[in-house]
Structure formats: C-alpha cells, structure tokens
Amino acid sequence: MRYPKRIGRLSVPGRKVQLATAAMLVATTVAACGGQDDGAKASAPKAPATIPELTKDPLTLSFIWFDWPPAHALEDFANAEYTKQRSNVTIKVNTVPNANWHDAMFTQFAAHKTDFDIPILDSQHIGEAVTNGNILDITDFVKQNIDVKAYNPYLLAAYGQYPQAETGKRDENASLYGLPLLGDTWTMIYRKDLIGDKPPQTWDEMISVAAKCQADNPGVSGLAFHQANGSDAAAVTYNTVNGVYGGNLWDSKTRKIDGVMNDAAGQEAMDVLVNKMKPLTAKGSGNWFIDEVNAAVAQGKACIAFNWIAASGGLLDPKQSTLGTTREQILDKLGFATLPSQKTNLVPLGGMGMHVSAYSPAANQAEALNFMKWFEQADIQKKWAAAGGVPARTDALESPEFLNAGPFNKVYADSVTRMRDMWNVPEYARLVDIENTNVNAALNGAKPPKDALDDIAKEQQGVLDSGNRKGGGGL
Amino acid sequence: MSGPVPLTTDHPGQVASATPPAPGRSRRLSDRWLAVAFISPALLLLLAMSVFPLLWALYLSFTDYSATRGGSAHFVWFENYTAILTSAQVHLRALTTLIYVVGAVALQTVLGFAIAYLISRRTHGRGLLTTLFLVPMMLSQVVVGLFWKFMLDAQFGVINSMLGSLGLGQVEWLTRQQTALISLIVVDTWQWTPFIMLIALAGLTAVPKYLYEAASIDRASEWFRFRTITLPLVWPLLLIAVLFRAIEAFRLFDLVYILTSGGPGVSTETLSFHVYKVAFLGFNTGTASAYGILMVLIVIVLTQLYLRYLNKLKED
C-alpha cells in the first residue's frame, strides 16, 4: 500500500538533518563566542631581558615590510652577514604592496597568528600594536643588550617608545617596543643644471625658483611631490608644509586637533600647498607617490622634487635615468639637499623600526631578539650603511661608510635633529586616511583648501573623541 | 492475486523508496540516507564557508566588536545600523555606487546587445569574433586595473598620447572629480560588455527563424522586425544578464582600489571600498559587519523586485 505524500511536514531523516544542522550552528557559534575572551587582556607581553638559548635546528627568521629597495637590501645584507654568526638561520623579508602594508600585518595580528617574526612597523603603527598586545615589550631587553647612549634619543624613541615621545626627546621611563631598522626623511632633489648648484634655503625661495625654472624650461614642471590618497602620501606632504610654516598637527597632551591643525599657521600651509605649490606640478600628478616622483626626476621632468631618502637610490642608476649614462653624469645634474626652512626647520620623520611578533614561536622570538642585538652593533650598522641602509646609531651616521655611500646620506645626517613625527596613537590608520583623502581632494580640486583642512580637523577630532561611542565606530 | 506493477508513476522518488533494498545492502542504508550521505560533504562545506560566516557577521553586526582590539563583544543592538543609515559619509558612497552601477550597466547593456546583434547577423567568422570579444572578461580585474592605470596616466599614458596626436589637450582621467568616475565606468564597460554580449547572443540565436520569414513575407521593415520580434524575445534573457552585472557592479572594489584608491578625495569611493576601510583601517568589525549585512539586504530586496518583474514579463 502506498501512502500519499505528506505535505508541510518533513520526513524523519529530513528533520533530523535540519536539527543536526541547527545544533551544529549553535555549537559553532557558542564556541566562537567563547573564543573571543582570548583577546580580553590587551597589553604587550614582555620579552625576556636576556636572550634565551638559541636553537641549533634550521630556522627561517621572517620579516614583513612593504616592497621597496630597502626591503630587498635588508634580505641580501642579513643573509650575507647574519648567517656568518648563525649559519642555521635563513632571513626572509616578505613584502607586500605599500598600500597593503598595514592590513597585511594587522589582519594577522587580529588572527593571533603571524607568518612573520619581525614586523617592520611604521613609527605611527606602534600605538595600535602595543595597545592590542601584538608586539613584545622589549624595555628590559634593551636595558641589558643595547647601548642606548649610542643613539640620538629621539630616533630611539620614535621607532620604539610608546606612549609617543615629545618631538626631539625621549622619555627614559617609557617602555620600548622596537629598535630602529631604517632611518629616513625627505630630501629635496634639485636640478643643478637648471637652477644652479646652490639649493634654495627657504620654502618661499624654493617656490619662486621652481616657478622660474618651469617658465624657462617648457615640458619640465617646477615641482614633484607626493599627492596620492593611498598610504600616507598626501598627508606627509601637508604635514611637512604645516611644520615648515609653524603649524602643529595636534596638542598631544589634551588630544586636541580641531582648532590646532586648522589654526592660522595650518591654513597658511594649506594655502601654500594648494595655491602655490600645486600649480607648479605636472598635469595629472594628483595620484603620485614615491615611484612616480622618482620617475619624473629620472626622466628630467621636474626641476625640484621631494622624496624619501631611502627610496632615492635608483635615481643614480643610469639604466633608470635619462639624465646621464654614468652615475657621475647624473650627479652633475642632480643635487640633494635638506628641506628648505621657513618659520621652522622641521622635516618629516620617516623610516621604520623592527619589533617582535607576540605570536611567533618561542625559538623564533629568541632568534629575533638575537638578530636585533646583532643588528644594533656599531660595526654592523656601518656595514648596513654601506649596503644601502640608513642606520640610526650616531657613530654609524657620522661614519665615512654611511656618508660616502650616497649623495643623500649627508642630508639625512643633517636632518636628524630637525625631525617631527605624526601621531603615534592606536587610531593612526584612520587619522592618516582622513588627512590623505582630504589633502588629496584639495590638491585635485575636489574640495576648497580651507574646507578640506577644517574637515580634517573635525573628522580627526571625532575619531579621537569616539572612545566611548557604542555603535557605528569607524564611519 | 496481486495487480500489475505500474511501469510509470507521478512520484518516482516514492516508488524508489518503496522498492526493497538490493540484496547485500544494509537495511539502514535506505536511499534517503544515501542521499543525505552524498550531499552532506557539500552541505557541511556550505555551512562552514557561507552560512556560518553570514550568521556570525549578523551576530557581530549587533555588537561593538573589534577584531584587533579583542575583548568581549558588547551588544549595541541596532546602533551600528542606525549609525550607518544616518551617516552622510555612507549616503555619499551610496550615491557614487548608484551612479556607477547605473552608468556602467546601462552602457554595457547597450554596447553588449549592439555587438551581439551585429555578430548574430554574420554567417562567417562568428565564432572567432565571439571568442575575441570575450578576452577582456577572462582577465583578472587587478591586471585590467593596472594596465588601464598606465593607459590613462595623464603624463605617459597612451590615451592622452593619442588625444595629443589628434590635437586635443591632456585629460586628467584619474585625478579629476569629473573624469575619475567616468574612467571607472569605461574600464568596467571594456571588461564586462562581452558578458552581456554573450548572453544576448545566446538569446538572439534562439529566436525562431520562421518569425523573421513570416515578417519578411508581410514586408515588415528591419526596425519593425527588431522591435516586435527580436527585442521582446531577447529581453527576458537580457534582463537576467543585467541583474548579474548590476549585482557585480554594486560590490565593485578591485578597480577602485587599483585605479583611483577612491580618489580624488573620496569621490570614487564605492560602498564596498568604504566597508573595506571601516573593516581594516579602524578594525571596527561590528560596524563593518552591519554595513555588509545591509549591502546584502539591499541586493536581496532589489533582486526580488527584479525577479518579480521578470516573472511578470514571462507571464505576459
């Protein structure tokens, strides 16, 4: 006998499957909810003061950085030199595009599992990593193993200290979470054959020289600088002009941005940038960053350009330049100088520090500490300088190995005491995005300069003040 | 005496389940259980990779959870949703996305259908032409974005070089508010017009020839034949292609990321790009989850409305 098919009710196996599915979903959800408590303790774990016993087994020490020449130089240098001391160790510098750098590190930190042992953080990333407990507190390790007096105190603080140091100083009571890997700042690159051997000394003079050069040389733009809205490109440009014209990014003690950044000095800086400097740049340069500025210089399309020193090495390569067939010929045309001053002589602090991932295996953390101790030695810092790196130790900065390695290295040495950093706070990624998009909008005519600056100040203040906000964070 | 066994049935599944198990097969392994056993790996994969993340995102959307800051998630109920729906920043991105979707899909539909119509009228080389037109669709969006970035470069790009040789001035394709969104639409159209073309071509080749023959006997004009035979028969299929493209365009991320990074300013930031920033710059996971859920809801609601229209069209 056949029964009619039941409608509206599932057969027993069907119901069982549904019940089992529902139970599994609930169980997984509960399990996942339970897993969240792991992150409740958000503070950086401490590294041992002395280096634990190192493994004799083969070990790969992994770094993460963005893809640019110093990353490749570091891998080559470390594999050539560090392995003399530790033959069982291979150094691997993993690189990601600059725009993905922050995401690549912090998404792995969020998973509490990293495929790198030494994250190379921008100085402003330290606050976010420390607050979330992603990197080791190496204060005790530094006391025991590093000669801190060998450094300019601000350089040591900028790449390792949290809470952030005051510009030019180091708080010796503050904790350290990193050590300098690569120092950097902007250099002014100028065409000696077009504007003469003597670089402009003031910002106003620089603008007038660039304007004259542009007028005298059709097809060559007066200026080339970072304007893109990715990474920190346009933000660093504005911050540099802001500093030179006597502005401040914020009052770090009261955490006040609105009314500070957009004060009279800040407005003047924005006016100079958008109304005096931007008209001297090439058409369509509103999305230029490091590579595009270098390309314009190498192709002889800019009278004066600004770029990071660590990214300027390629400018002297005849294969990449139309300015000469030898390095000497190129150097006859290109000059490198410290930034002109105006109301102040501040320059942007670039470069990065190395840190230890809190989620690396113990053997790798020990190796990472050993690498850092090795790397910060005087003779290794000089070798790093000769290999194309920018060291942070004062003795290495003053050494002939460094000063003779590139024409821009003296620029760095002369700029060390003039450096100013941005905000090193956990909210940095959002602060810099707000500034980047608004400065980029002003530079490309999408927003009036005053509105852009006021929006930056207001939106950034909103981010800093949103600590107690319950929902909708991040909008 | 038993009656004859029916050879066919309206409910083959039931006959199958009524058939005694084959000799040697365990009594417990009925066809029903076998079916469950066979589909369960795929089902489990679907549950783990799609259903669970969706439910998890739904749960997070009611909390203030941050993936990097850790700590337990506190319920904020609908505050994330309220903040998103009332945010001027989100409204701006929604408008940008709408302009992009309408612009790109409309252009692709017109061009795709036109190309398909022209190809369908050819008797020789149709296969080769179709294959050549499909090449852009097979490329990765990132690759497409990168080479169009070079081509649209104001200083060194081939597009401006061509314009220059025609005596026209340089255009800042990617750095001006007026042209950046248009550039995105053009690049997307270049890549995805072949998709519409392919679907339209399938529809066009399926139109019965005798309809055209009858129209010819009645001395119907070309335009009349197109308007009363071709278009009505291809239209439902074309609408499905438009639906797929609209959903794809709605969640545009790759091209924006590569070509403009959302700039100048935020003038080409789409909703997906904004969700990415909320999720990964500030790691506001709760807000980003609510944002994502709202986007899914919008797509579901619009799709339902669209499908109803499509069904109505078929019934008519």
Would residue B193 count as lying in a domain?
Answer: yes
Q: The domain spanning residue B296 has which CATH number?
A: 1.10.3720.10
Q: For residues A150-160, b (16+ Cβ closer than 10 Å) or e, as one string?
A: bbbbbbbbbbb
Would residue A22 count as lying in a domain?
Answer: no
In this model, does residue B6 exceed pLDDT 60? no
For residues A337 and A382, membership in a common domain is answered with no
Quick one: pLDDT at residue A69? 92
Would residue B204 count as lying in a domain?
Answer: yes
Would residue B65 count as lying in a domain?
Answer: no
Would residue A19 count as lying in a domain?
Answer: no
Is the distance from CB of A249 to CB of A239 less than 8 angstroms? yes
In this model, does residue A473 exceed pLDDT 60? yes
For residues A224 and A159, membership in a common domain is answered with no
For residues A361 and A340, membership in a common domain is answered with no
Would residue A34 count as lying in a domain?
Answer: no
How many pairs of residues across A and B have Cβ atoms under 8 Å apart? 186
Provide the domain limits for residue B287. Answer: 88-315
For residues A172 and A67, membership in a common domain is answered with yes
Would residue B285 count as lying in a domain?
Answer: yes
Tell if the CB–CB gap between A229 and B47 is shorter than 8 Å.
no
Q: How many Cβ atoms sit within 10 Å of the Cβ of residue B2?
A: 4
- Residues of chain B with C-beta less than 8 angstroms from the C-beta of A134: 68
CA distance A148 to A376: 10
- Nearest Cβ partner for B68 among A110, A463, A470: A110
User: Which whole number is the average pLDDT over B257-286?
Assistant: 95
Q: The domain spanning residue A122 has which CATH number?
A: 3.40.190.10
Would residue B267 count as lying in a domain?
Answer: yes
Quick one: pLDDT at residue A1? 39
For residues A311 and A376, membership in a common domain is answered with no
Instruction: State how far Cα A468 lies from the chain centre.
Output: 28
pLDDT confidence of A18, banded at 50, 70, 90?
Answer: low
pLDDT confidence of A9, banded at 50, 70, 90?
Answer: very low
pLDDT in tens, B148-207: 999 999 988 999 999 999 999 899 999 999 999 999 999 999 999 999 999 999 999 999
For residues A289 and A364, membership in a common domain is answered with no
Quick one: pLDDT at residue B254? 95
For residues A435 and A314, membership in a common domain is answered with yes
pLDDT in tens, A313-342: 999 999 999 999 999 999 999 999 999 999
Q: What are phi and psi of A179, to 5 degrees?
A: -130, 150
pLDDT in tens, A401-431: 999 999 999 999 999 999 999 999 999 999 9
- Nearest Cβ partner for B264 among A13, A102, A446: A446
Would residue A52 count as lying in a domain?
Answer: no
Quick one: pLDDT at residue B20? 58
For residues A190 and A319, membership in a common domain is answered with yes
Would residue B4 count as lying in a domain?
Answer: no
Would residue A73 count as lying in a domain?
Answer: yes
- Residues of chain B with C-beta less than 8 angstroms from the C-beta of A133: 70
- Nearest 5°: the CA angle A104, A109, A110 is 100
pLDDT in tens, B10-61: 444 444 445 555 555 566 678 888 999 999 999 999 999 999 999 999 999 9
Quick one: pLDDT at residue B125? 86
pLDDT in tens, B146-164: 999 999 999 889 999 999 9
User: Which whole number is the average pLDDT over A452-465?
Assistant: 96
Tell if the CB–CB gap between B59 and A29 is shorter than 8 Å.
yes
pLDDT confidence of A470, banded at 50, 70, 90?
Answer: low
Tell if the CB–CB gap between A13 and B52 is shorter than 8 Å.
no
On average, the pLDDT of chain A sits at 91
Here the tokens at position A151 are 């450094």
pLDDT confidence of A44, banded at 50, 70, 90?
Answer: confident
- Residues of chain A with C-beta less than 8 angstroms from the C-beta of B59: 29, 33
What percent of chain A clears pLDDT 90, i.e. is strictly above it?
86
pLDDT in tens, A271-284: 999 999 999 999 99
Distance between A310 CA and the closest CA of chain B, angstroms: 24
Distance between B200 CA and the closest CA of chain A, angstroms: 38
Is the distance from CB of A83 to CB of A367 less than 8 angstroms? no
- Dihedral angle sign, alpha carbons of residues B50, B51, B55, B61: positive
For residues A306 and A372, membership in a common domain is answered with no
CA distance A179 to A137: 11
Distance between A277 CA and the closest CA of chain B, angstroms: 17
For residues A242 and A318, membership in a common domain is answered with yes
For residues A332 and A365, membership in a common domain is answered with no
Distance between B145 CA and the closest CA of chain A, angstroms: 15
> How many domains does one find in chain B?
1
- Residues of chain A with C-beta less than 8 angstroms from the C-beta of B71: 36, 39-40, 42
Provide the domain limits for residue A452. Answer: 186-348+423-466
Q: What are phi and psi of A159, to 5 degrees?
A: -100, 5
Would residue B15 count as lying in a domain?
Answer: no
Quick one: pLDDT at residue A36? 41
Would residue A25 count as lying in a domain?
Answer: no
- Residues of chain A with C-beta less than 8 angstroms from the C-beta of B172: 283-284, 286, 444
- Nearest Cβ partner for B47 among A21, A283, A286: A21
In this model, does residue A35 exceed pLDDT 60? no
Is the distance from CB of B291 to CB of B314 less than 8 angstroms? no
- Nearest Cβ partner for A284 among B32, B170, B280: B170
Strand arrangement, sheet containing A334-337: A221-224, A302-308, A186-191, A334-337
CA distance A310 to A184: 6
For residues A242 and A342, membership in a common domain is answered with yes
Would residue A401 count as lying in a domain?
Answer: yes
CA distance B214 to B237: 23
> How many domains does one find in chain A?
2
Please report the beta strands in A79-197, taking only residues with DSSP state E, as ranges in sequence order.
Answer: 89-96, 118-122, 161-162, 175-176, 179-184, 186-191
* B173 interfaces chain A, CB cutoff of 8 Å: yes
- Residues of chain A with C-beta less than 8 angstroms from the C-beta of B176: 286, 444-445
Helices within chain B (DSSP H only): 12-18, 31-46, 52-60, 79-86, 88-120, 126-138, 141-151, 158-165, 177-205, 209-217, 222-225, 231-250, 254-255, 271-280, 285-315
* B64 interfaces chain A, CB cutoff of 8 Å: yes
Tell if the CB–CB gap between B263 and A134 is shorter than 8 Å.
no
User: Which whole number is the average pLDDT over B292-307?
Assistant: 94
- Residues of chain A with C-beta less than 8 angstroms from the C-beta of B265: 229, 437-438, 440-441, 444, 446-447, 452
- Residues of chain B with C-beta less than 8 angstroms from the C-beta of A430: 281-282
Is the distance from CB of A422 to CB of A235 less than 8 angstroms? yes
Would residue A428 count as lying in a domain?
Answer: yes
Is the distance from CB of A195 to CB of A259 less than 8 angstroms? no
- Nearest Cβ partner for B70 among A39, A107, A430: A39
Would residue B223 count as lying in a domain?
Answer: yes
Is the distance from CB of A133 to CB of A370 less than 8 angstroms? no
Enter the DSSP assignment of B282.
Answer: S
- Nearest Cβ partner for A444 among B11, B76, B175: B175
* B28 interfaces chain A, CB cutoff of 8 Å: no
- Who has greater pLDDT, A298 or B311? A298
Per-residue HEC secondary structure of B151-199 comes to HCCCCCCHHHHHHHHCCCCCCCCCCCHHHHHHHHHHHHHHHHHHHHHHH
